[in-house]
Chains A and B, each alone.
Chain A
């Protein structure tokens, strides 16, 4: 398995002190990784390093740097309110210089894939929180990225919507197999969404544990009630508690 992105002994210092590190983490092609940790442990910082939105104070970041090869979904949908769902999803392609007609065609297809066929002309203000998040997901997928970074993308949604979106992200992953790095502080969500769960200790964050989750991807129905899921969730919770106590 080749790595699409890696953090090599990175440390990040902010004015208020050390925020992250030292941390080494390698993301393989097509891998699904969840980063879990307490708030303020630097997991979002790690994600921004992988995205190339921030540079480490020490250490190096290697990543597939091509335009559109990395996509990010933030905690909020982060849509342009003046653009339709279609124009929002087409934005990465248009910025890369693609003709509008073609960009809109692909954006329409991406919106259909996330279950938003028929809502192409709606504005963000006319969409529910879950639908807006789907538009954000369509915008991330429209460039067919090799690395998809999700920064607590469902944190603001209700439980039913977040479960539905989790399954949708996994079936989208099955279709194109991008590497996914998923930041969350929800242990069950991490174990459900990822084949590998990386636990970080409280800030400045270090890696406190690295767990493989057994089971098929996308997850079968009732996966949350099965023994391997429960066992891994317990292990991750224990590592998390240890990381907070440390």
Chain B
């Protein structure tokens, strides 16, 4: 029963919206009725799905790259305190700089023929930090008594990283990747906005294009697809995190 509650609320809100728009004769370019959005969604579904896939694939490629770079750097910081002190402040700079502010610069560097490279780069910049900070914290989270045992048994630095610190970091890495994947998707969409009409024809481009043509129903339809994609990605990553923790703990 309580699982149905959000859907019931949604139905009530949609009904109120439909009735209000019809009763007050709100112009369609300002606020189309839900039924008009549904029609726009059905008509444009193939284009919207293709556009979603473009955005999603940008985010996924960015997630893989961010994961590799962040983990490699985190391991370097775990191996060398000097590298740790050098890398951390710079990593924070990447975190606090808004992606929209970097977008124009990265678009210039990627070149006009390769906007997709700029989009991936920008999404990597956004997804990098949660994975890096998760990995860095995880690599320090090993049980201190286990660290002492490794010292007692004469383990080398590399052995400690591979056999103790990296496995200890797994729960932190799972969490970092979950947050990072969500941010990669947001980063990809924001970067598409930054790239503007000359960019890759992903979901953000669909929203911009529909907005320029005052096709408000199509704009909302694209937003709904974006929302659905975000929810699906989040649910998938929650499941991956749960399964990963179960595998790690054996229970």
Q: Which residues of A contact B (CB under 8 A)?
A: 51-53, 67-68, 70-72, 74, 76, 78, 80-84, 91-92, 94-96, 122-126, 143
Q: From B153, B154, B159, name the one whose CB has the most chain A CB atoms within 10 angstroms.
A: B153
The interface residues of chain A lying within 8 Å CB-to-CB of B155 are 95
Are B154 and A96 closer than 8 Å at their CB atoms?
Answer: yes
Are B249 and A80 closer than 8 Å at their CB atoms?
Answer: no
The interface residues of chain B lying within 8 Å CB-to-CB of A76 are 145
Contact indicator per residue, chain B 39-83, by CB within 8 Å of chain A (1) or not (0): 000000000000000000000000000000000000000000000
- Rounded to whole angstroms, the CA-CA distance of A83 and B145 in the bound complex is 16
The interface residues of chain A lying within 8 Å CB-to-CB of B154 are 67, 95-96
Are A125 and B152 closer than 8 Å at their CB atoms?
Answer: no
Dominant secondary structure of chain B at its interface with chain A: helix
Contact indicator per residue, chain B 146-159, by CB within 8 Å of chain A (1) or not (0): 10111111110001
The interface residues of chain B lying within 8 Å CB-to-CB of A82 are 167, 170, 248-250
- Rounded to whole angstroms, the CA-CA distance of A84 and B250 in the bound complex is 9
Whether B3 is near chain A, meaning CB under 8 Å from some CB there, is no
In this complex, the interface size class of chain B, counting residues with CB under 8 Å from chain A, is 20 to 34
Are B145 and A123 closer than 8 Å at their CB atoms?
Answer: no
Whether B251 is near chain A, meaning CB under 8 Å from some CB there, is yes
Are B248 and A81 closer than 8 Å at their CB atoms?
Answer: yes
> Per a CB cutoff under 8 Å, which of B143, B150, B170, B250 touches A95?
B150
Q: Which residues of B contact A (CB under 8 A)?
A: 143, 145-146, 148-155, 159, 163-164, 167-168, 170, 248-251
User: Contacts A72-B152, A123-B250; is A78 near B145 (CB within 8 Å)?
Assistant: yes
Are B153 and A91 closer than 8 Å at their CB atoms?
Answer: yes
- Rounded to whole angstroms, the CA-CA distance of A122 and B155 in the bound complex is 25
- Rounded to whole angstroms, the CA-CA distance of A96 and B143 in the bound complex is 20
The interface residues of chain B lying within 8 Å CB-to-CB of A91 are 149, 153, 163
Known: A91-B149, A143-B153. 9 other contacts (CB 8 A): A52-B152, A53-B151, A53-B152, A74-B145, A78-B146, A80-B168, A81-B249, A82-B167, A82-B249
The interface residues of chain B lying within 8 Å CB-to-CB of A92 are 149, 153
